[in-house]
Amino acid sequence: MSPSPALQLQEVHKSFGPTPIIRGVTLDVVAGERHAVIGPNGAGKSTLFNIVSGRFPPTRGTVRLKGTDITGQPPFEINRRGLSRSFQVTNIFPRLSVHENVRCSVLWSLRYRYSLWHRVDRLRDVEDRTERILAQINLSARQDVPAGVLTYAEQRALEIGITIAGGADVILLDEPTAGMSHSETEYAVELIRGLSGGKTLVIVEHDMGVVFNLADRISVLVYGEIIATDTPDRIRANRAVQDAYLGTEHH
């Protein structure tokens, strides 16, 4: 018997007012898989992430995380159950130092919060984890500068690092390489690959080089419906996908 999927969407619908945006999405993401979601602008990719991460509930349908029904649960609860997401727009604390940004997420992921401050051994643990993440994202040397003064690509690397390295085992990344140069994108892909080993990754991405390089499977979302889910090779060869999306210029 196969294990229950890391993420399971069943007949998920979402309307804003009278407008249907997500129109019956059913999708299984296998544990440990790297799954890309592609599709034209406005297809509903970020909306799907917002539903899965608990930002808003679906109009109907079910979302399961590692077998547990999380439909309609608030973001902190879903995060507590092991799901972490990054946003399409960089979402760090610009006035806190790079170190403090990482430390915040470590504190959150370890759930120490209140009692922590009196536990020296735990503080040591937090510090160790923070330093390890800073080293993994190659920002140790920049740890004392305010995050807001990092270059755009460094800020994205920081956000990717916080999202993936924070301890969650199911990771959603929304356009992590958007706005990056070619070399920055290559760097970010290696960062994502290195940090996400053994975890389940769902990535929304417009850069097809990134998608075909990273993804084990790809789902194509068009106007709120998944028109195909398959391996990169089969997606590339899929006529309906070519007509609807690939080969058409966007952005």
Site of interaction with ligand ATP (CB under 6 A) = 16, 21, 39, 41-47, 88
Placement of tokens 């990482």 in the chain: 102
47 binds, among ligand ATP, Mg ion, none (CB under 5 to 8 A by kind): ligand ATP
Stretch that binds Mg ion, among 39-47, 50-58, 74-82, 150-158 (CB under 5 A): 39-47
Query: Is 38 exposed, middle or buried, given 0-12, 13-18 or 19+ CB atoms closer than 10 A?
Result: buried
- Pick 43 or 168: Cβ nearer ligand ATP: 43
Residue 61 host element (H or E): strand 60-65
- The one segment of 1-9, 87-95, 125-133, 195-203 that binds Mg ion by CB under 5 A: 87-95
* Minimum CB–partner distance for residue 41 and ligand ATP (Å): 4
Tell me whether residue 40 or residue 148 sits nearer to Mg ion (CB atom): 40
Dihedral-angle region of residue 138 (phi above 0 means left; psi in -120 to 50 means alpha; beta otherwise):
left
Among Mg ion, ligand ATP, none, what binds residue 16 when CB lies within 5 to 8 Å by partner kind?
A: ligand ATP
Amino acid at 127: E
* DSSP-based three-state secondary structure for 211: helix
Distances (CA, A) of 138 to 15, 46, 113, 158, 187: 41, 28, 27, 9, 11
Q: How far apart are CA 131 and CA 3, in angstroms?
A: 34
Please state the closest distance from residue 163 (CB atom) to ligand ATP, in A.
17
Q: Which is nearer to ligand ATP, 179 or 194 (CB)?
A: 179
Alpha-carbon distance 166 to 83, whole Å?
10
Applying CB under 5 A, which of residues 46, 62, 97, 136 lies at the interface with Mg ion? 46
**Range in contact with Mg ion (rule: CB under 5 A) among 46-54, 71-79, 91-99, 241-249:** 46-54
Q: Considering beta carbons, is residue 141 or 240 the nearer one to ligand ATP?
A: 240
The interface partner of residue 96, options being ligand ATP, Mg ion, none and the CB cut-off 5 to 8 Å by kind, is none
Minimum distance, C-beta of residue 180 to ligand ATP, in the bound complex (Å): 16
Conformation bin of residue 37: beta by default, left when phi > 0, alpha when psi is -120 to 50 = beta
Query: Which residues are near Mg ion by CB under 5 A?
Result: 45-46, 88
